[in-house]
Structure formats: structure tokens, C-alpha cells
Amino acid sequence: QSALTQPASVSGSPGQSITISCTGGNRDVATYNLVSWYQHHPGKAPKLMIYEVTKRPSGISNRFSGSKSGNTASLTISGLQAEDEADYYCCSYASSSSLVFGGGTKLTVL
């Protein structure tokens, strides 16, 4: 199962918006609306930020939003804050009852 493709890094200034893309294929992102996004601060447990492409778990700021078009899902963070600096991973259900992750994107808040 090939990993989903994410940019290695993105950056933005406080208050700005950034978008992280996640590209897959017909066995995962393009076929299933089961894309989730995780925030990971090194040394801590990953945290669910978005699930089923666009849904936010309780307690997650509405500054975080998700979308999908064809085989590419996206995570947008608006009103960037210093605390948003972390690694972000997309994940998709893939055929044959499995999960596949993206390679991760390091977000730097300038």
C-alpha cells in the first residue's frame, strides 16, 4: 500500500491561512470519504483534528477545516497560531479494510 503524498513542509505567519494537501488514488482518497487528519507534536500522542473529510471532533477549533476534490484531500488552518506548529498527517481508508497514512507535513509558524 503506497503512502499518501503530502508536502514535506509548509509555513505561514500568525493570523494567516495555510493549506496542506494529501494526494492518493482510486484505492483510497478518490473512492472513500474516510479521510482524517492528525496533529502531532513530537513526544506527544497524535490528535484527531478532522475525520470523514470535513467533520471536526468536539473541542477542535473551527479554524481547522477539511475538504476533498477527486484524489486530493486538504486541511486548511485559518488564523494561524504559534500552538499550531506541529506535524500533520492525513490518513485514508483503503480497500481491503486497511488504513494508509501520508508522509507527514511539518508546519512552521513564522
Chain residues binding other proteins by CB under 8 A are 1, 3, 34, 36, 38, 40, 44-48, 51-52, 57, 89, 91, 93, 97-104
* Helix (H/G/I), strand (E/B), else coil: 33: coil
Nearest CA among 11, 65, 2, 1 for reference residue 35: 65
The CB-of-99 to other proteins minimum distance in angstroms stands at 4
Nearest CA among 45, 57, 59, 58 for reference residue 89: 45
The CB-of-59 to other proteins minimum distance in angstroms stands at 11
The CB-of-2 to other proteins minimum distance in angstroms stands at 11
Q: CB nearer to other proteins: give 77 or 91.
A: 91
Nearest CA among 1, 6, 3, 8 for reference residue 75: 6
Q: CB nearer to other proteins: give 8 or 13.
A: 8
Q: CB nearer to other proteins: give 15 or 57.
A: 57
Nearest CA among 21, 6, 11, 24 for reference residue 75: 21
Q: CB nearer to other proteins: give 15 or 20.
A: 20
